[in-house]
Amino acid sequence: MQLRKPRRGRVSQALALMTANLLAAVGAHAQDASPGPMDAAQAASVTSDTETDLGYTRIDSAVLFYQEAGGRVRAIEPTLTATLNSNSGDVLSVGIVSDTLTGATPNGAAPWKQSQTFVTPAHPPSTTATVTTASGGSTLVTIPGTGIVSRQYVVAPNTLPVDTGFRDQRWGLNLGYSTLWNPSTRLSVGASASNERDYTSASFTAGVAESFNQNMTTAAASIDFEYDLSRPFFGTPTPFAVMSADQKGPVASKTVASLVVGVTQVMNRYWLAQLNYSVGTTNGYQTDPYRILSLVDPTSGAPLQYLYEGRPGSRIRQSLYFANKLAIGPTFADISARAYIDSWGIKSVTAEVSDRIPLTSHFFVEPEGRYYTQTAASFFRNYLVSGQPLPKYASSDSRLGAFSAVTWGLRAGYDITPHAELYLQGESYKQTGVTHPPGAIGGLATQNLFSGASATSVVLGFSFAFY
Amino acid sequence: MSVRLATPPHPSLSAVPEGLIYSFRAMASPCEVRVDSFDAGMVARLGEVAEAEALRIEQKFSRYRPDNLIAQINNANGAPVEVDPETAMLIDYADIFYRVSRGLFDVTSGVLRRIWKFDGSDRVPTRTQVREIMPLVGWNKVIWRRPFITLQPGMEIDLGGIGKEYAVDVTLLKLAARTKAPVLVNFGGDLRVSGPRAGFGRWRVAIESVDREGVPEGMLQISHGALTTSGDARRFLLKDGVRYSHILNPRTGWPVKDPPRSVTVAADTCMEAGLMSTLAMLQGRGAEKFLRREHAQAWWMR
C-alpha cells in the first residue's frame, strides 16, 4: 500500500505534527544520526564523507586505470585510505597512493611533413635501465669525444611529436585529522607528501568550519601551503635554450599558498547548497622542464631548432564554485558550476551534473556529465617564429591553450553488506580545440596543431567499514 | 493488537528467504526485528539494541512496576513530582492529544479498570460505582507545569497507550541510523518499517483474526511507515444480552457503543497509526465515519 495522502483531517494533521516534533526531540536526545527520511545532507554523507560513521573505521581502496588515446599516457593508480572515526567525532585519515605512468607525452614541438629527430639528455649510463631502445623507441648515443650520453628519438612525418621514453612512478602519503572543538566548530589539519623520480611535493593544510543556525549553515575557511621541488636528472633548463644532450641546470622550487572560504547551507530537506571562493598564489619555477617549442622558418614553417619553454614565475588564481546536492525522489543529484580566472590569462568554466539512482536498495547507478571550456594563457604559442624577437614567456602545452572538454561517465555500486560497497566507474574524456589556427605559417597550415588528449578511465573501488 | 507473530520464549535469530529475524519478549508481547541482511552479527547487534530499547521504555513507563517514575507519580498523594525530559515530552504529547481528541484520549482513564474487569463474565459495575470513580478520571484535573506533575490523590496516569508505539518509533530510528539494510520493527503487532525491502519489495503483514488466535484474516503490504491494529477481541462483558466492549469512554466511564471488532491504520509513524486506531475505536459506531473524515489509510472489521 503506498501512502497516498489526500487532504488530511484535523486529528491526523495535529498528530503528524506533534509526532514529528516528539521524535525529532528524541532523536536529538539519543544523539544518533538524524532520523527520518533521507535528506540532501544525509545523501551527502552517504555518498561522500564518512564523518557520520561515528565509531567506525572505514577502509577505501580503489584502482584507477587511465589510458589516453593514440598510445599516449597510461596510468595505473592504486589508492588505500583508512578513516578512523572516534565516538566523539574526531576523524583521523591516512592514505597512500602510488602511480605508475608510462607511454608517450607530447614534447611540445609542432608536427611537420618530414620526420623530426629530437636529442635530449639521457640518464648517466649507470641508470639507463629505464630507457631502452626496444620499448622506448629511442636510441642512446654517446656523443663522440665528449662522454656525453644523449637520447635520440625520431617522430614520423605529419604526426604529433611525442616522447615515448617516458615512465614514472609516484608515491604519495596523506594524513588528515579533524576534531570537534566544540559542538559547532570543527578544526582540521592535514599534511601530504609525494615523491617521484624528478619531483617532490609537500603540503600542509589547516581549516575551521563553524555550524550555526541549528546546523543549517556551515561556514568554512582553510589555508593551504605547498612546496614543490622540480629536479630532472639534467637540471631545469634555461628558458629558450636550444634542446641538447648537454643540458645542465639547477634544481628549482615553487611555493603555493591558497585560501578557501565557503558556506554550506541546508536550503530545505531536499537541497544542500555550497558556495566556495578560493584564491591562491604560486611563486617559483612553474615551467615544464621537458617541454620544448619548435622555432620555425618564417616562410616555410619548417622546424629550425627546438627551444625549451618558459613560463612566468608568478601565478594568481581565483575561482568561484557553486555546488548543489538534491534529493529528487529516490535519487541524489549533484549539480555544480565553477568559474576560474588566473593572472596568466586563462578563464575557464566547468559545469557538472550527476545523479545517483538506486535500482534496488543494494544497487545503484550514477550517470555523470561534465563540460569544461577555457581560454588560452597569454603566452601560449603553437610554435615560435625565427627572426622575430623571442617573447618573454612561451609554452605550447595544450593545457595552457584554448580548448573544451566533455566527460561522460557511469558509476555502478553494489552494497555487499550495509557497510561494504563495491563500485565500478567508467569515464570517457574528450578534448576539442582549434586544430588549424588561422595564420599558420607555410606547411604548418596543413598540420593538426592541437595536441589535446582524449582518454578513457576505469576505477574499481571497494569500501568497507567496521566497528 | 493482533499481527501474527510466532516468537520463541528467549531472544533468538532465525532466517527467512529475505534476511534474518531477531525475536524476543518485551512489554508482555512477542517482539521482533526483521532485517533484510544475512549478516548475523549485525542483525544480532541490531536486535540487541531493539531489545534494550524496548526493555528500557517498558521499565520506565510501565504502570505495573512499583519502582519507576510512573509509580512515584501515581503514589505521590497530591504532591508534585519532577519528571525527566523524555517523560515530560511524552506527557506534553498526551496533554496535546487530550485536547485534540476532545477528551477521548485520556492517560488518567486507567483507574476505570478498578471497576471494569473484562473477563468475559457478566460483572458489569453499577451506575453508582461508575459515578463514584469518575472524580478520579480526567486529565483536566491534573496540574502539569513542566517539569512538575501533580495528580489529585487516588488518580493515576498510564502512558501505556502510547508507550509501545513510541518504543517502536524510537527503536526504528535508532536501527535505521545504524544500517542501510531494510528493517522492520514489530513490538506486539505495532510495527514500522524503515523503507521498502531489498529490490523495492513490500513487507507483507498478516492481520490476525480478532476471534481466533493465530488465524490470519487478511494480508497487507507496506513499503513505508507504520501499521497498528486496535481490537475489541476477546475482552468484553456480556450481561442481559448486551455486549460491553473493553473500550472505555473516559468522559462517561462507560464502554463505547458498537466499536468495530478491529481497526488497522497505516501512517508515517507508529505513534500516529496507534493513536488513530485507538481514537477510531473510541468513536464506537462512528469509527468508520471518523476514519473517512480523517482520510486515514485504514481497514476495519465489524
Rounded to the nearest 5 percent, the helix, strand and coil shares of chain B are: 35, 25, 40
Q: Residue B144's closest CA among B131, B127, B157, B128? A: B157
> Rounded to whole angstroms, how far apart are CA atoms B6 and A464?
35
Q: Residue B193's closest CA among B173, B211, B210, B212? A: B173
The closest CB to that of A35, out of B101, B177, B179, belongs to B177
The closest CB to that of B173, out of A1, A12, A27, belongs to A27
Contact B271 A19 (CB under 8 A): yes
- Phi-psi region at B73: left, alpha or beta (left = phi > 0; alpha = psi -120 to 50): alpha
Contact B179 A418 (CB under 8 A): yes
The model's pLDDT over A328-368, given as tens digits with 9 standing for 90+, comes to: 877 888 999 999 999 999 999 999 999 988 887 778 899 99
* pLDDT above 80 (res A45): no
Helix (H) or strand (E) holding A288: none
Provide the pLDDT confidence category of residue A214 given band limits of 50, 70 and 90: confident
Q: What is the interface pTM, i.e. ipTM, of the complex?
A: 0.84
Residue with the bigger pLDDT between A5 and A297: it is: A297
Q: What is the pLDDT of residue B10?
A: 66
Q: Residue B173's closest CA among A37, A89, A53? A: A37
Instruction: Write the CB contacts of A139 (distance below 8 Å, at least 6 apart in sequence).
Output: A133, A151, A152, A153
Residue with the bigger pLDDT between A447 and A330: it is: A447
Is the alpha carbon torsion for A390, A396, A400, A403 positive or negative?
Answer: positive
Cβ–Cβ contact B171 with A under 8 A: no
> Rounded to whole angstroms, how far apart are CA atoms B224 and B203?
9
pTM value > 0.95: no
Q: What is the pLDDT of residue A138?
A: 65
Q: Residue A425's closest CA among A381, A367, A386, A374? A: A367
The closest CB to that of A15, out of B181, B266, B275, belongs to B275
* Count of CB atoms situated within 10 Å of the CB of B42: 19
A367 three-class SS? strand
* Block residue for cell numbers 539494510: B181
Cβ–Cβ contact B189 with A under 8 A: no
* Count of CB atoms situated within 10 Å of the CB of A131: 20
Instruction: Write the CB contacts of A344 (distance below 8 Å, at least 6 apart in sequence).
Output: A311, A312, A315, A377, A378, A379, A400
Q: What angle do helix axes B85-100 and B160-178 make, rounded to 10 degrees?
A: 120
> Rounded to whole angstroms, how far apart are CA atoms B166 and B272?
10
Chain A hits for B293, CB-CB cut-off 8 Å, are: 9
B232, B234, B237, B239: CA torsion to nearest 10? 110
Share of residues in chain A with pLDDT > 90 (%):
51
Q: Determine phi and psi for B196, rounding to 5 degrees.
A: -65, 160
What's the rounded mean pLDDT across residues A45-49? Answer: 35
Q: What strand order describes the sheet that includes A116-121?
A: A116-121, A149-155, A138-142
What's the rounded mean pLDDT across residues A391-404? Answer: 95
Contact A8 B89 (CB under 8 A): no
The model's pLDDT over A82-128, given as tens digits with 9 standing for 90+, comes to: 988 877 778 899 999 998 888 888 999 999 998 888 888 876 554 43
What are the residue boundaries of the structural domains of chain A, listed by start?
Answer: 44-466
Which residue type, as a one-letter code, is found at position A134?
A: A
Using an 8 Å Cβ cutoff, are A84 and A57 in contact? yes
Q: Residue B233's closest CA among B274, B273, B192, B264? A: B264
Which domains are assigned to chain B?
A: 12-62+161-301 (3.10.520.10), 69-158 (1.10.3980.10)
Cβ–Cβ contact A329 with B under 8 A: no
A378 three-class SS? coil
Chain B hits for A331, CB-CB cut-off 8 Å, are: none
Contact B199 A361 (CB under 8 A): yes
Instruction: Write the CB contacts of B91 (distance below 8 Å, at least 6 apart in sequence).
Output: B83, B107, B144, B146, B149, B157, B159
| CA angle centred on B186, ends B185 and B189, rounded to 5° | 155
A76 three-class SS? strand
Chain A hits for B203, CB-CB cut-off 8 Å, are: none
Chain A hits for B269, CB-CB cut-off 8 Å, are: 19-20, 23
Number of H helices, E strands in chain B: 7, 15
* Block residue for cell numbers 593508480: A77
Cβ–Cβ contact A28 with B under 8 A: no
Using an 8 Å Cβ cutoff, are B205 and B192 in contact? no
Cβ–Cβ contact B169 with A under 8 A: yes
**Mean pLDDT, 10 residues at a time, chain B of 302 residues:** 46 84 89 90 90 92 88 92 89 90 92 84 87 93 90 92 92 88 92 85 77 67 88 69 81 90 91 94 91 88 82
Chain B hits for A19, CB-CB cut-off 8 Å, are: 93, 169, 268-269, 271-272
Residue with the bigger pLDDT between A86 and A373: it is: A373
A25 three-class SS? helix
Share of residues in chain A with pLDDT > 70 (%):
85
Q: Residue B199's closest CA among A207, A362, A37? A: A362
Chain B hits for A15, CB-CB cut-off 8 Å, are: 97, 100, 267, 271-272, 275-276
> Rounded to whole angstroms, how far apart are CA atoms A155 and A136?
12
Enter the CATH code of domain A44-466: 2.40.160.40
* pLDDT above 80 (res A282): yes
Q: What angle do helix axes B270-282 and A10-30 make, rounded to 10 degrees?
A: 140
* Block residue for cell numbers 536501527: B175
Task: Output the CA–CA distances (angstroms, integers) from residue B242 to A113, B69, B128, B259, in the order listed.
Answer: 109, 39, 19, 13
DSSP code per residue over B259-302: --SEEEEEESSHHHHHHHHHHHHHTGGGHHHHHHHTT-EEEEE-
* DSSP alpha helix (H) spans, chain B: 40-61, 69-74, 85-100, 127-133, 160-178, 270-282, 287-293
The three cell numbers of residue B62 are 510501565
Chain B hits for A3, CB-CB cut-off 8 Å, are: 224-225, 266-268, 297
Contact A15 B276 (CB under 8 A): yes
Calculate how close chain B gets to A400, using CA atoms only, in Å: 45
- Phi-psi region at A439: left, alpha or beta (left = phi > 0; alpha = psi -120 to 50): left
Task: Output the CA–CA distances (angstroms, integers) from residue B289 to A4, A296, B261, B279, B293, in the order listed.
Answer: 19, 92, 15, 12, 6
Chain A hits for B220, CB-CB cut-off 8 Å, are: 1
Pairing mode of beta strands A363-374, A271-284: unpaired
| Closest residue of chain B to A11, computed from CA coordinates | B100
Q: Residue A359's closest CA among A412, A289, A304, A300? A: A412
* pLDDT above 50 (res A133): no
Contact B42 A417 (CB under 8 A): yes
Contact A1 B221 (CB under 8 A): yes
Contact A33 B181 (CB under 8 A): no
What b/e string do you get for A256-290 counting C-beta neighbours within 10 Å, with b at 16 or more? bebebebebebeeebbbbbebebebebebbbbbbb
Q: What is the pLDDT of residue A147?
A: 64
Chain B hits for A2, CB-CB cut-off 8 Å, are: 223-224
> Rounded to whole angstroms, how far apart are CA atoms B214 and B199?
29
Q: How many CA atoms lie within 13 A of A15 on its CB side?
A: 25
Calculate how close chain B gets to A423, using CA atoms only, in Å: 17
The closest CB to that of B295, out of A9, A34, A361, belongs to A9
Q: Does the N-terminal peptide bond of residue B147 adopt cis geometry, omega within 30 degrees of 0?
A: yes
> Rounded to whole angstroms, how far apart are CA atoms A401 and A399?
6
* Block residue for cell numbers 461508575: B130
| Closest residue of chain A to B294, computed from CA coordinates | A9
The closest CB to that of B42, out of A10, A35, A418, belongs to A418
Calculate how close chain B gets to A18, using CA atoms only, in Å: 7
Task: Output the CA–CA distances (angstroms, integers) from residue B222 to A297, B196, B202, B214, in the order listed.
Answer: 79, 8, 5, 21
Is the alpha carbon torsion for A129, A131, A134, A139 positive or negative?
Answer: negative
Contact A11 B268 (CB under 8 A): no
CB pairs under 8 A between A and B: 120
